[in-house]
Amino acid sequence: MARLTEENVRLAQEIISRYPKARSATIPLLHLAQEQDGYVTDDAMAHIAELVGASPAEVYGTASFYEMFKFHPVGRYVINICGTMSCALMGAEDLMHHAEEKLGVRMGGTTDDGLITLERAECQAACTEAPCLQTNYRYSFRVTPESFDALVDDLRAGRLADEIPPHGVVARVRQHIPADRGAGVHAPEDVKSAPAWLDGKAAL
Amino acid sequence: MSAGGTNAFAPGFYEGNRPRIVTSRFGMEDSHSLGRYVATGGYDGLRRALARPAQEVHEEVRSATVLGRGGAGFPAGTKWGLTPQDVWPRYLVVNGDESEPGTYKDRLLMERDPHQLIEGCLIACYAAGLSQCFLYIRGEMALAQERVATALNEAYAAGYVGRNILGSSFSVDIVLHWGAGAYVVGEETALIESLEGNRGMPRLKPPYFPAAIGLYGQPTIVNNVETLSNLPWLMVNGAAAYTAIGTPTSPGTRMVAVSGHVRRPGVYEIVNGTTTFRDLLFGEGFCGGMREGRSLKAFVPGGGSAPWFLPDQLDLPFEASQVGPAGSMLGSGAVMVMDDTTDIPKAALTLTRFYAHESCGKCTPCREGGTWLERILSRIVDGKGTDADLDQLLEVGQSICPGAFPHASSERLGISAVPFPYRMNTICFVGPSAYAPVHSALTLFREEFEARVTKRVHIPVTAVGASR
């Protein structure tokens, strides 16, 4: 396990081809690896390093900066409860205590059945709908202890399997640039002149 | 669609009876589809732009004074003009890494009207001669990523993006890129670092603008999602119609999220420059006042980084030239409201913890100072602080921002305002932002801190441990 599958290598190459420099694809490829395995494995990082022309340490250096990447297995569902000001003003702390009791784990912990990892998160950009949480980056708004319990029960019963993909999958839609429609990607050093539509006149 | 209720398709958004430039489609269920977009005038702005020389389009945007909506408020048309002559290629990087506490409008714009953003990107690229666009969306915004990806796929298939757009010589690719969770990446040079595949740490300045040296060392324009979303309307209606809304220095509209202890927390598109905080917090078309039986204690006027305001400042309009001298900033369009039940030291801690957590670690005053502010504040909130801690907080703050730090005036306290901005010992605003809530809370509500801490009795050294 853990190097990118053949299908994912194809996707990775398509993503890389959209950038003037392959290194720019590092974060999208790390997401691809996490989508494949649920977390980012050492083998996947080594593979990504080969694909983008970096060292595994450089890829790990990048990956470890970002909160969303996990380097150990986590639950199928990661529940992030926001604790920043707007949510805190509307009772996020009580919600976190309730969540810990309901799931029987502390913040950062995973339930024994491996289904749910609970995390304390920072502002999730839904401040008027406080307190809010995300389950694998899908929102629940104005969460109460009752609605939290209902969410957990639904997750356990598999009732949200269609709406919420397993951890690692963020966007379920991928961009595709059709070969006959793309404007073309050029390394910056290969471009010497102003784009054609400026018609020889310099932009302001 | 009613003027009074929340929007069925964008929870939290209220339409109201006001001019709407960027949210005009929010009430339509399929507002994110190409069909609906085109049926409601979508891509007309691009057509009109392409019919004119690029320089003229740039001039139109410049004369409209479209202020940047990401936080700094720098006019987009001016920013586009900062690129060095004859250096090619130039890039557009769209900042959709919205993460400032209290802020969300870019997320709604991406979820509800992605084609409007795409059209805005195209107009910017055409006007400023930018040959590739990278649309950077915050990693945690799954729905926004899906909606923008779908919209881009539709737009490519229909010939709005890519090679020879609408049959013209204008060709540009828009590449969807997404982050992985790091607040600091919203800083434009950190955004570029992240886009190059690195840790998202801000770059040393100068150069102050990536327009000089940006992505891959090339001239790069970084614009916010809301800023670009204004451009299609501007191209159709013209700069004169745009500046007819709002004031000459703050024209058009802006989106503001109001959260916290108000009756109707929500996102509102308001008229820039003239709408006051009182209108927004107490107006019937807006938040409708405080929760039942409660009164306003304080509010954060421009995102978590902004120094706080008191009820004394309610009559200020959304106008930077007035909010700055009053001691704060408009930032990213986010107001967080605290009523009289609020535990002020604890509220400040929720923000300081955020910035301490999000420090990238590059600058020592922020990395160490932010952490110390959080620790000291935590022990005060836990009832384990001493009165010496209060001075310690200010001392740590001085190492991040030397000199007088901005704050509001207060009639009750008999203090006058210290104007924005501050001096800083860090490359970016994360460090000062960790200090802002501490400084505001301590300056405006010192008694709440003093009630929490143990008074230290100073015993002269000679009286201790006499060895005789």
Express each pLDDT in B145-180 by its tens digit: 999 999 999 999 999 999 999 999 999 999 999 999
Q: Test B260 with A125 for CB contact under 8 angstroms.
A: no
What part of B 297-336 touches A (C-beta under 8 Å)? 300, 304, 334, 336
Question: Are residues B59 and B204 part of one domain?
Answer: yes
Do residues B35 and B137 share a domain? yes
Mean pLDDT of chain B: 95
Same domain, B391 and B265: no
Query: Tokens in use for B226?
Result: 């809301």
The pLDDT confidence band at residue A34, using thresholds 50, 70 and 90, is very high
Q: Are B226 and B109 in contact (CB under 8 A)?
A: yes
Alpha-carbon distances of A202 from A195, B78, B84, rounded to whole Å: 10, 15, 11
User: Measured between CB atoms, which of B199, B304, B358 is closest to A85?
Assistant: B304
Q: Minimal Cα–Cα distance from B83 to chain A, Å? A: 9
Identify all chain B residues contacting A65, using CB atoms and an 8 Å cutoff. Answer: 182, 199-200, 360
Place of tokens 């989106």: B255
Chain B CB contacts of A67 below 8 Å:
180-182
Q: Which domain holds residue B419?
A: 343-456
Pairing state of beta strands A77-82 and A133-135? antiparallel
Cα(B316)–Cα(B308) distance, integer angstroms? 13
* Residue A202: predicted pLDDT: 58
Confidence label for B233 from pLDDT (cuts 50, 70 and 90): very high
Dig out the tokens for A36 from the structure: 């494949």
pLDDT band at B2 (very low <50, low <70, confident <90, very high): very low
All residues of chain B having their beta carbon less than 8 Å from the beta carbon of residue A55 are none
Of B144, B264, B430, the residue nearest A124 (C-alpha): B144
Residue to test with chain A: of B57, B259, B355, most A Cβ within 10 A: B259
- Structure tokens belonging to residue B352: 């300081």
- Of B184, B189, B168, B178, residue with least CA distance to B148: B178
Nearest CA in chain B to A86: B260
Does the distance separating the beta carbons of B169 and A128 come in below 8 Å?
no
The predicted structure's pLDDT at residue B371: 97
Measured CA distances, B329 to A2, B72, B83, B221, B466 (Å)? 48, 9, 27, 23, 55
Q: What is the pLDDT of residue B465?
A: 57
Q: How confident is the model at residue B408 (pLDDT cuts 50, 70, 90)?
A: very high
How much of chain B exceeds pLDDT 70, in percent? Answer: 97
pLDDT at B461 exceeding the cut of 70: no
State the pLDDT confidence band at B467, using cuts at 50, 70 and 90: low
Minimum-distance CB partner of B142 among A18, A138, A191: A138
Query: Residue B460: is its pLDDT beyond 70?
Result: no
B134 and B29 fall within a common domain:
yes
Please tell me whether residues B46 and B74 are part of one structural domain: yes
According to DSSP, residue B399 is labeled H
What CATH topology corresponds to A6-63?
Arc Repressor Mutant, subunit A (1.10.10)
B327 shares a domain with B239? no
- Neighboring chain A residues of B257 at a CB cutoff of 8 Å: 127-128
Query: Does B467 reside within a domain?
Result: no
Q: What is the pLDDT of residues B420-458, one digit of tens each?
A: 999 999 999 999 999 999 999 999 999 999 999 988 776
Q: What is the CA radius of gyration of chain B?
A: 23
- In this structure, chain A runs to a length of 204
Residue B268 Cα to chain centre, angstroms? 15
Q: Which residue has the higher pLDDT, A202 or B142?
A: B142
Chain B CB contacts of A17 under 8 Å are: none
pLDDT of residue B298: 98
β-sheet bridge partners, residue A57: none
* Residue to test with chain B: of A27, A147, A172, most B Cβ within 10 A: A27
Interface with A, mutate which of B175, B185, B224, B261 (most A CBs under 10 A):
B175
The whole-angstrom separation of Cα B196 and Cα A144 is 41
Q: Are B349 and B452 in contact (CB under 8 A)?
A: no
For the domain A77-157, what is the CATH code? 3.40.30.10
Contacts of B62 in chain A (CB under 8 A): 204
For chain B, the straight-line distance linking the first and the last C-alpha, in angstroms and rounded, comes to: 86
- Any idea where the domains of chain A sit in the sequence? 6-63, 77-157
Instruction: Please say which residue of B218, B243, B268 terminates a domain.
Output: B243
| Gap from A70 CA to chain B (nearest CA, Å) | 11
CB B418, CB B405: distance < 8 Å: yes
Taking the CA of residue B134 and the nearest CA in chain A, the distance in Å comes to 9
The residue written with tokens 């009580």 in the block is A94
Dist CA B320 CA B207 (whole Å): 25
Residues B19 and B15: their CA atoms lie apart, in Å, by: 10
Same domain, B95 and B228: yes
Asked whether the beta carbons of residue B156 and residue A177 sit closer than 8 angstroms, the reply is yes
Task: Indicate if B104 and B190 belong to the same structural domain.
Answer: yes
Give the three-state DSSP class for A175.
coil
Residue at a domain's end among B221, B243, B265: B243
ipTM above 0.90, yes or no: yes
Q: Which of B182, B267, B347 sits opposite A85 (nearest CB)?
A: B347
Q: Count how many domains chain B has.
A: 3
**Within-domain flag for B230:** yes
Tell me the pLDDT tens digit for each residue of B29-83.
999 999 999 999 999 999 999 999 999 999 999 999 999 999 999 999 999 999 9
Residues B347 and B362 in one domain: yes
> Which of B341, B343, B282 has its CA nearest to residue B314?
B282
d(CA A29, CA A47): 10
